[in-house]
Amino acid sequence: MIPDYLAEALGEVAADTTGETAGYIPELATADPERLGAAFAMVDGEVYGAGDIDTAFTIQSISKPFVYALALSDRGFDQVLAKVGVEPSGEAFNEISLESGTGRPLNPMINAGAITTHSLAGPEGLQPTQRVERITDGLSAFAGRRLKMDESVHASEMEHAHRNLAIAHMLGSHGVLTGDVRAVVDGYIRQCSLLVTARDLAVMAATLANRGVNPLSGERVVPEPVVRQVLSVMFSCGMYDAAGDWATQVGIPAKSGVAGGLIGALPGQIGIATFSPRLDSHGNSVRGVSLFERFSSDMGLHVM
């Protein structure tokens, strides 16, 4: 029944061909724009799906809440909050958006904050490659299987990383980032280049919904207070400058990525993931947003 419902929902949004694949990363611009899938992972471990739920694509910004969770677990709240705030920026994901005075990025969902939280994953003093390993291990634990990296997407994005390098140099000038800031950007882009499927993303979201325990493997990935912090920030900042529209119309903590993935996590209930590569002007999947609007209203998922 749930797969039938999902297939029907996909059929309804399939006709919408508005939006564009992410043009600023050449390897993403060539993605098949017709791909479409949706998956539900329940906190009891059941997974349902329809469409392209086993097609791999890069996680991109959907990595941000999970790496924020790892940084909070590895370094503690005080150390992370001293460097990254929790306020919505009201700006696009790749704006500089630093707090005046301190230079602290406004939140961990925009690039400035995510580059900083990348640098805070793992214990202090890790080499850049060890940090990427810590993150790959951590995100794999959220997914319940070993994730691989797409080296060609990483190389393609590094060639066009001027904005992220500029943001990282600004962070360096404020002392928010220290050491080799180019290596931090390289690691952040590697984190964004991890390959996932909609099925994986639904399980990752369900691990948040299940308060930090992966419902398939039973592994506790991060502590419960960390999950509360992450879901709160996803609710207020996960959809960037569309966060207010999203909070009122969909009302589920969520995060999007420029390869076309979109996740939502409803505490105690369900992790949801959709995949469709064409994006709106905020960098959110057009058909993904429509699907979430429908799921929220059909199943009464709005948290308010």
Binding residues for substrate, as ranges, are 61, 111, 157, 164, 188, 240, 258
Catalytic residue among 13, 43, 61, 286: 61
Q: Which residue has the tokens 């980032």?
A: 177
Q: What is the pairing mode between strands 195-196 and 57-58?
A: antiparallel
DSSP code per residue over 12-28:
HHTT---SB--TTSHHH
User: In this complex, which beta carbon is closest to ligand DON, that of residue 89 or of residue 111?
Assistant: 111
Cβ neighbours, 10 Å, residue 189: 22
Residue 61 annotated to the active site: yes
Q: Which residue has the tokens 């969909």?
A: 250
Please state the closest distance from residue 93 (CB atom) to ligand DON, in A.
Answer: 4
* Phi and psi torsions of 58, nearest 5°: -85, 145
User: In this complex, which beta carbon is closest to ligand DON, that of residue 47 or of residue 165?
Assistant: 165
300 dihedral zone (left: phi>0; alpha: psi -120 to 50; beta): left
Q: Find residue 272's DSSP bridge partners.
A: 40, 264
Residue 64 annotated to the active site: yes
Residue 281 annotated to the active site: no
Asked if 84 contacts 217 with a C-beta cutoff of 8 angstroms, the reply is: no
Q: Which residues are annotated as a binding site?
A: 61, 111, 157, 164, 188, 240, 258
Q: Which residue has the tokens 């207010």?
A: 244
User: In this complex, which beta carbon is closest to ligand DON, that of residue 138 or of residue 187?
Assistant: 187
Q: How far apart are CA 197 and CA 35, in angstroms?
A: 12
Please state the closest distance from residue 216 (CB atom) to ligand DON, in A.
Answer: 25
User: In this complex, which beta carbon is closest to ligand DON, that of residue 60 or of residue 214?
Assistant: 60
Q: How far apart are CA 209 and CA 266, in angstroms?
A: 5
Catalytic residue among 181, 258, 286, 289: 258
Catalytic residue among 63, 240, 285, 296: 240
Q: How far apart are CA 89 and CA 203, in angstroms?
A: 28
Q: What is the DSSP letter of 222?
A: S
Please state the closest distance from residue 65 (CB atom) to ligand DON, in A.
Answer: 12
User: In this complex, which beta carbon is closest to ligand DON, that of residue 113 or of residue 212?
Assistant: 113
Please state the closest distance from residue 262 (CB atom) to ligand DON, in A.
Answer: 9
Catalytic residue among 63, 64, 132, 256: 64
Q: Which residues bind ligand DON (CB under 6 A)?
A: 60-61, 93-94, 111, 157, 164, 189, 192, 256-258, 283
Residue 240 annotated to the active site: yes
Please state the closest distance from residue 125 (CB atom) to ligand DON, in A.
Answer: 25
What counts of helices (H) and strands (E) characterise the chain? 13, 7
Catalytic residue among 13, 156, 185, 188: 188
Active site residues: 61, 64, 188, 240, 258
